[in-house]
Structures are given as C-alpha cells and as structure tokens.
Structure 1
C-alpha cells in the first residue's frame, strides 16, 4: 500500500493544455512554481495524493515494439535521472498530451507535474513524479469583508477532493516500465477517457499475485460490509470469518469454488456478482482472473482490516475481535415482542 505520511513536495510545474481538435493550443510556464505556505502545501497534497491513498491497481508503461519509444516513460526517466529538468520535460509532456487531446468532449484545463520525495510503497521509501490533468472547475461562494459589514461573491476553483486525471510514477523497476498508479474520473469505460491511459500514458496493469489478491480482498471487504443481503450483523461476520479462512488455507483462489464454499446461498452469490461488477466499474479495477495464486502477505494485511463491528441504533457498538465459527455460534439474535425491540445474547465461559 502507498503511504504519504512523510511526503515532501519538492517542485511543481503548471501549464495549460487545450483541445487540439478545436485548435486551442497550449500555454507553458517559464519557471517552476514555488509553494512555500504550509497550508497551501497541505491542500495541494490532499488534491494530488488523496485519490491514490487506497488504490491497489498498479500499472506500468508499455509500448508495442520497445519500451524506449514510450514518450512519457522517456521524459519521466530523464526527470528521475536529473530532477532539475522537470520544467523542460514537463513542456515535452504537455505537447505530447495536446497531440492526444482530439476527442470533441475533452475540455481545456491545467496540466501539473510534481516531483515528490518520501513516498512509501509497502514500506520502501523513494521518489515519485505526479502527472495531473484538470478538466472541471466548480462555482462557489465566498464571504468578503466590506465597509460596514460583509458581502457574498461568486468565484470558480478546483475541488481538492475531485481529481479529474492523475498518474503517480514511482522510481522503482525502471527496466520494467516503472510501477505507477492512475486515476481517471470518467472511468475506464468512457470513450473520451481512453486518451489518458491508452493514448497519452500508454500503460497496462501489472498482474502480480500480490496486487490481484489485494484487489479481490478489498472488493470482498466492501461487499461484506455493504452488499450482504442479511437481516442481522452475524451473517456478515460469519462470511468474514469464512473468507479469511478460505484465503489462509488455500494457495489458489477460484471464483466458482469461493462462491460455493463460502457464499453458498444463491441470493448471496447473486448479490456478490452484482457488487463485483459495480466495484470494478467505479474503481476502474481491471477484472481479476477467475483463478489466481493467493499472496499470503496480502492476506495478512487484509485480515487486519476485516474487523467486524455491529452498530445498534445510536447507543451501542459491538466489536467482534474473533471471527471464528465457534465464537460466532455463541451469539444469538432475537426479538422481544413485548418490548418491540431486537436483542443479542452472548454466551461465555468466564470473564477476563
């Protein structure tokens, strides 16, 4: 997983790129932007890095004939070798992006490049380069002080929680096309969005067992929290326990076997398939193979996140630390008709 807790924003370059089909051109900066205010740095870090914080979908640069002919790969490599060429290479990149921006629905907007230090991937610290494209701005109201009181004005700006397009390239595995992560607000199905990943970046997903296992476990965690068709919270807890057990006891994941051995009920399987389709679309996650080798390290990381919490109205919260079947069998859910309330009953041997 990515960790930005020790991130340092070294340099930022901002250009403007239009739609080539409308002959809008590009406008390039003459110097690197210096961001000194700590509060602005914090907001900028939120805007540029927050979308990548939870992603597990790792990619790499590719080319049909030779990786050296991938333009973004080449320019990024120059920056990693000589960080002081950020401005020069960013101009090369914005020109390349302009050549790819021909779809009639592509809007003009800012183009950012950022050189970062202190990025952690699975505990390893290194440098990274961020490449971003802004397409949409929002109208907002601001209160301004005037003589004798206050007034309200309209302005337009960027929502720091809504990045349009982004690519974070880590300085690792250069010979294999680096390791990188992408974001696209349009989703991978939109025709006008394909120019970002396919035409401009030219990247492909990295099908390693750790990434695939992590993706599937993240998806299952969401399903067990949001998509299980159950009337009480014990059923999701049982499924969590059985899911963890399945991944711990098997070396291979097979979708059909998981559905029959863990989900079992037709209604649950149907809900899982519907949730999986929606999840893959909303997160731009490439559909994982029906069978793959399970990464035990990814299982350990996911197990820590698969905690069960039962919230009862606004007054009580029950934390289930042990999800083993023999423990869950000691919990009983019922309904008190006289009081018109539901209840949980817990059986135990001794207090600790």
Structure 2
C-alpha cells in the first residue's frame, strides 16, 4: 500500500506539452527542470500528483512480449534510477514516446509532468520513485477582485488540481520483474487505453491483490451464472451463497480452494462444478488463479459490491436479504398466476 503522507518533496520536476500529432498539435519540450520558488505551489502540486494514489494496493509492472528492456518507459525510468543526472534527458524521451502514441483523434493534448521523489513508503519499504502525470482537462475559474472600491469579476483558464487525469508512479523496487507501478486514469473510454497499454505497456502483477480480485469475480460469476445452469437454484439460494462467499473472504486471511469449496458450497456436485469452472476460467482469461493465496482486504472491499443480496421483483419491489435464509419462502399463486415471496419477522421498524 502506498502511504502518500510520507512523500514530502518534489525533488525534481519538469514539464512538457504533449499534443495530438494527428490533430496538428505540437510537442513542446522544456530544456531543464523547473525550479519551484513558491512553497505553496510545491505543496499544491504534490497534492495534485499524489493524493489520487492514496491507499492504493493494486500494482502493475512494465512488460514487453520480447524483452523487458525493449519497453521504452521501463528503460527511461531505469536510467533515471541509475543516475539522477539523466533525469531531464530521459524526461524528454518519455514525452516523445507519449507523443508517438497520442494519435487517436479523441486523445486530448495536455501538460506532462515528470517528477522524481527520493522517499516513498510502499508496503512498508522506503524507496525512490518517478512520477509521470498528465493534465488534459481545462476548467474556467471566476476571479473576484477589488477595483476602485468596487468588486469586479473576471475569468481565467486553468487546471483543476482536485482531479488528476492520468498518472503513473514507478517505484524503484523489483526492477527485474518490471518495477512496481501504480496507475491512475480518470478516462475509462476506449481511446484512453493508450495510456496503460500503448504508452506504459503494463500488466497487473500476480500478487495477492490481483489473485483476490480475480477469485472474487470468479466466485460471483460461478454462483450467479454457472450454478443455475446446472442445478435447480432460485435467487434466494444464490444470495445465500453470495453472502457465505463474502463472509469467507472477510474472515479468512488465506484463500484455500478445497476449504472454500467445502465450507461455502458444501454439496459434492457443486464442489466439482466449481473446480471445473475455475479451470475453465483460468484457461479462458489466461489468469493466475492458484489454489491458495493470501487474501487482500483492499481487493475484497473493492469487489464486495458484486456480492449483492437484493431481490429485484419486477419494478415494484427490492427486497434486501441480510439474515436467516429460513425466514423467506418462495411460492406460486395459481389464482393470480404469479410468483410470490413470504417473509417472516418478529418486529416491524
């Protein structure tokens, strides 16, 4: 987990302007790092760059289909980590590389900030880091000022420092595996994949966060889609299994395939079906789904929303099922030709 409160100083900072070449926008490169004279600006920039990464626990790594050394951003960051005197030269190379991949007609030009931090706390380890940030969105701000004892209004164009469009922190750790990399991208549209896939060329690390996130999705899909296909199972039974799954992830420190199958699913046929589905899921999506791994609480909390315990009945009712499965019964009314649920309770609130 990244502790942003431990990042105190912008040790090195340079700014380049990266436009969209297909839209005839230029690449404008600074010749040297920026010297910040105003401490307040430094503090604002630090918050703008780093705060979006607060408490992140998901990491990526640089990759390349042939050789990691052929990944441009990996190579440029490695040279900076080797010698900070390389900072400005390699920041220019990073900007040129981004410009080369900013060709989709909907990609917006913007300022590219490249920084070097000497101390960052990552998973309890103090390391140096390189930050690559891009601002694409411009906002209009009203300015109120006093003129001849009367207040006047004007406006100006600027950057909203409460919203970072794109960001990347590269931590100088586990370099042979492609470093630890954390990413922010506020644009989820198709054209935005250029930041992660084309420019950075990163993939998720096969760590506990990724493994927990994958298994949460696998369990949810198995219970809601696969089980009803093979067994008679109504929505109440599905909700009960989703609740038991969520409890398992919440209370256990480690995921164990056999233990989960027996404690949550119980029935031998369902256990066999789950094992088969896990193997199919792993092969289809080419994901790392081991039998045992440490459960990541941040990953589970992120995926907890998928363990929904809501019965949606036409457009009339939403029933939230939190407790005893025996307190709700499903039936069919022959006279009305409609399904119904019967709820038992002791007190109405």
TM-score (norm 1): 0.66
Distance 1:36 1:258, change over 3 A: farther
1:78 aligns with 2:83: no
Range 46-55 or range 111-120, more displaced: 46-55
**Pairwise mapping of residues 235-254 of structure 1 onto structure 2 (< 5 A)?**
243-245=249-251, 247-248=252-253, 250-252=255-257
- For these two proteins, the number of residue pairs brought into alignment is 268
Does the Cα contact within 8 Å between 2:15 and 2:114 map onto a contact in 1?
yes
SS in 2 for 1:64: coil
Give the CA deviation at 1:25.
Answer: 1.8
Q: How has the CA–CA distance of structure 1 residues 259 and 158 changed in structure 2, closer, same or farther, with 3 Å as cutoff?
A: farther
**Residue number in structure 2 paired with 1:3:** 3
CA distances 1:76-107 after superposition (whole Å, capped 9, x unpaired): 11111111221111111111111111111111
1:255/1:161 Cα in 2 relative to 1: closer, same or farther (>3 Å)? farther
CA distance in 1, matches of 2:37, 2:103: 36
Q: Is the 8 A contact 1:209 1:292 kept in 2?
A: no
Deviation, structure 1 residue 259: 7.3
Q: Deviations over 1:247-304 (max 9, x none)?
A: 247424999889758xxxxxxxxxxxxxxxxxxxxxxxx99877663315x459989x
Q: Using the alignment, how far apart are the partners of 1:36 and 1:254 within structure 2? A: 59
Distance 1:9 1:207, change over 3 A: same
The structure-2 alpha-carbon separation of the partners of 1:291 and 1:175, relative to structure 1 and needing over 3 Å to count, comes to: closer
Please state how far the C-alpha of 1:39 moved relative to its aligned partner: 2.3
Q: CA RMSD in A?
A: 3.6
| Cα shift at 1:241 | 5.7
Partner of residue 166, structure 2? 165
Query: Residues 299-334 of structure 1, C-alpha deviation per residue, up to 9 Å, x if partnerless?
Result: 59989xx9xxxxxxxxxxxxxxxxxx9xxxxxx994
Q: Which residue of 1 aligns with 2:146?
A: 145
1:171 Cα deviation from its structure 2 partner? 0.4
| Residues 109, 135 of structure 1: 8 Å contact kept | yes
Q: Distance in 2 between matches of 1:260 and 1:165?
A: 42
Q: How far apart, in 1, do the equivalents of 2:169 and 2:153 lie?
A: 38
Query: In 1, Cα distance between the equivalents of 2:258 and 2:145?
Result: 59
Higher alpha-carbon Rg: 2
Contact 1:165 1:183 in 2 (8 A): yes
- Pick closer, same or farther for the CA change 1:242–1:22 going to 2, 3 Å: closer
> Which residue is 1:318 aligned to?
none
Deviations 1:28-78 (A, max 9, x none): 112211224332222111211111113222111111111111111111111
**Aligned counterpart, 2:23:** 22
| 3-state DSSP of counterpart to 1:78 | helix
Structure 2 residue aligned with 1:223: none
After superposition, give the CA deviation of every residue in 1:126-184 in whole Å (9 maximum; x if it has no partner).
10000011111111212122221221111121112211111100000111111101111
Show the 5 A alignment for 1:1-352.
1-7=1-7, 8-187=9-188, 190-213=189-212, 243-245=249-251, 247-248=252-253, 250-252=255-257, 293-295=292-294, 298-299=296-297, 334-335=347-348, 342=349
1:91 partner SS: helix
Is contact 1:56–1:215 with CA below 8 Å preserved after alignment?
no
Q: Distance in 1 between matches of 2:41 and 2:140?
A: 20
Per-residue deviation, 1:212: 3.2
Tell me how far apart the structure 2 counterparts of residues 300 and 203 of structure 1 sit (CA, whole Å).
21
Tell me the distance in 1 between the aligned counterparts of 2:58 and 2:299.
16
- Contact 1:210-1:294 within 8 A present in 2 as well: no
